[in-house]
């Protein structure tokens, strides 16, 4: 890891909001690419938080304060990840599926899609299939993006696709899915149109999906 990113990495790992913001600022001032700051300073720290949770060294409160520190740093980084001025190339309805409250990855994907000139309708977390369906009817997007971080909530991606089929809406939207436990094979299995492993690839794949 670039030395300049170490204080940022540590701040997120320790759940310190102000040092996280200061760490992002220091890295930006030093001319580090915002994508490198995100991947090597911030996402890497969240991966370590997950590992410590698995090892029984961190518990939910530690994960939560780490997530808050990450969000604070992201607020500063966001303008550098997103282009300032664009016309939408397409519309995407996004959400974290029913039962799942993880939103950092989903927010990053939304940010990168915004940067790739998509209009984002973000339904938030714990989004039921019914809410996705209602949003498709209201907003008429070209794409739906679903995120899931829990193996127990992944099946709600399929439930949502099934609901789209039942509502006669499946043909009018492409479905993009992602999240740590999700795979390309799973996307195929449940009849999604595509899987993206990370936020930047989500943006390029979304563009290719709408041609
Ligand atoms: Co949770 N949690 N958590 N958690 N949490 C995980 C996911 C876990 C892997 C930790 C672990 O055990 N190692 C584990 C899941 C295990 C499993 O299912 N196999 C877990 C658990 C168990 C839980 C609880 C059940 C804990 C409990 O209460 N006992 C609970 C569940 C709550 C619920 O959702 N109902 C819970 C709660 C929480 C917090 C609320 C404390 C907090 C979330 C705060 C928030 O999001 N606002 C939290 C956190 C922070 C994590 C970890 C540590 C970090 C997640 C994260 O933000 N990663 C996580 C461990 C880990 O992932 N290694 C963990 C950074 C983020 C940038 O990555 O979200 O993967 P990610 O997004 C990536 C890609 O996946 C992709 O692009 C993103 C950017 O590159 N992507 C997409 C994501 N969505 C996409 C959509 C796309 C395309 C790509 O298209 C639409």
pLDDT at 120 (0 to 100): 92
21-26: average pLDDT:
97
pLDDT at 152 (0 to 100): 98
CA-to-CA separations, 202 to 79, 97, 123, in angstroms, rounded: 18, 17, 17
Domains with residue ranges and CATH for the chain: 3-83 (1.10.1240.10), 90-209 (3.40.50.280)
Is 121 close to ligand 1, i.e. is its CB under 6 Å away? no
Closest protein CA for atom 83 of ligand 1? 179
Is 62 close to ligand 1, i.e. is its CB under 6 Å away? no
pTM of the predicted model, to two decimals?
A: 0.89
Is 205 close to ligand 1, i.e. is its CB under 6 Å away? no
pLDDT at 10 (0 to 100): 97
CA of 54 to the centre of ligand 1 (A): 12
Closest protein CA for atom 64 of ligand 1? 50
Is 73 close to ligand 1, i.e. is its CB under 6 Å away? no
When mean pLDDT is compared over 46-55, 163-172, 201-210, the highest value belongs to: 163-172
Residue 137 in this model has a pLDDT that exceeds 60: yes
Is 202 close to ligand 1, i.e. is its CB under 6 Å away? yes
Is 147 close to ligand 1, i.e. is its CB under 6 Å away? yes
Confidence of residue 200 (pLDDT cuts 50, 70, 90): confident
SS3 43: helix
pLDDT tens digit string along 29-86?
A: 999 999 899 889 998 998 898 789 889 999 888 988 998 999 899 999 988 887 545 5
The strand pairing partners of 122, in sequence order, are 94
* CB-based contacts of 21, cutoff 8 Å, min separation 6: 72, 73, 75, 76
49 and 13 in contact (C-beta within 8 Å)?
yes
SS3 167: coil
SS3 98: coil
Residue 184 in this model has a pLDDT that exceeds 70: yes
């Amino acid at each position: 890891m670039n030395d300049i990113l170490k204080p940022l990495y540590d701040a997120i790992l320790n759940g310190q909001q102000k040092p996280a913001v200061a760490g992002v600022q220091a890295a930006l001032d030093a001319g580090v690419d915002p994508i490198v700051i995100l991947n090597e300073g911030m996402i890497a720290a969240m991966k370590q938080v997950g590992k410590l949770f698995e090892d029984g060294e961190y518990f939910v409160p530690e994960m939560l304060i780490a997530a808050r520190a990450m969000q604070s740093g992201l607020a500063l980084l966001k303008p550098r990840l997103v282009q300032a001025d664009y016309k939408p190339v397409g519309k995407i309805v996004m959400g974290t599926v029913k039962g799942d409250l993880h939103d950092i990855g989903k927010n990053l994907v939304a940010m990168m899609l915004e940067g790739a000139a998509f209009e984002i309708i973000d339904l938030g977390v714990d989004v039921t299939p019914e809410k996705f369906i209602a949003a498709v009817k209201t907003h008429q997007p070209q794409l739906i993006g679903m995120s899931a971080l829990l193996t127990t909530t992944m099946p709600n991606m399929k439930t949502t696709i099934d609901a789209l089929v039942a509502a006669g809406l499946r043909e009018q939207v492409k479905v993009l899915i992602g999240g740590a436990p999700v795979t390309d094979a799973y996307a195929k299995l449940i009849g999604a149109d595509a899987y993206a492993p990370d936020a930047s690839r989500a943006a390029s794949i979304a563009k290719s999906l709408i041609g």
